[in-house]
Amino acid sequence: MRVVVGYHHSADAAHKLVPTLAGAGHSAHPAPVADTAALTALAATIAHDYGRCDALINCAGITRFVAHTDLDALDDELIDTILATNVRGAFAAVRAFRPLLDKSSLPGGGVVVNISSTAAEIAMGSNVMYCASKAALDNMTKSLARALAPRIRVVSVSPGFVDTNFVKSLDKAWRDEQASRSPLGRLATPQEVAAAVAAVIATLTCTTGSVIKVDCGRTLG
């Protein structure tokens, strides 16, 4: 596939990523998901350059650590920012790219993959509204899967704790304790999350409206 890397504030990182990707024809473009006009312009650019969109990965997200008991610290501005990015932004991207996804010739049709979180199910995460936003995203996945079938599939990939560079930088004892809470005794890797996304696109062609967990069984309790 030819990959379009969207970005908001991370232009340098996006443009550095493009030449590292296998194959040719990749590009990077601004994609501030809270700006519907910008998404519409991006869709027009991709229509001109590529003619269609086979897979849309909604992975933009924002949060801030706020204790669940501290209701006052979860102010209206932060709530609005989280919902605008994590929920409205994902919907706006689907709305903008629907005509291009309709043109996909992939087996199973075009596909939207929403990057969710197990916080949607267990209500444990960086703050109350982040958890709520991911629950809304999973619910929206199901609604859109029904609304856009049969031409477009919509699936949530839902990671738990993932052993990213950020997580590796945290206290090792805390990280090990988090890993021990899962039946597999470890954290998921970024590569495993990516593999789940790739599987949804290329292999699980009859799957739509599902929430696929990548959490080493953490939600089993």
Active site residues per annotation: 130
Please list, in sequence order, all residues whose beta carbon lies within 8 angstroms of the beta carbon of residue 21, skipping any fewer than 6 positions away. 3
Query: Measuring CA to CA, which residue among 141, 136, 135, 139 is closest to residue 156?
Result: 141
CA atoms within 13 A on the CB side of 61: 17
CA distance 167 to 177: 13
Compute the 3-state secondary structure of the chain and give helix, strand, coil in percent, each to the nearest 5: 45, 15, 40
CA distance 149 to 113: 14
CA distance 9 to 123: 28
Tokens 């994590």 map to which residue? 86
Measured between alpha carbons, how far is residue 163 from residues 6, 9, 129, 213 in Å?
Answer: 23, 23, 23, 15
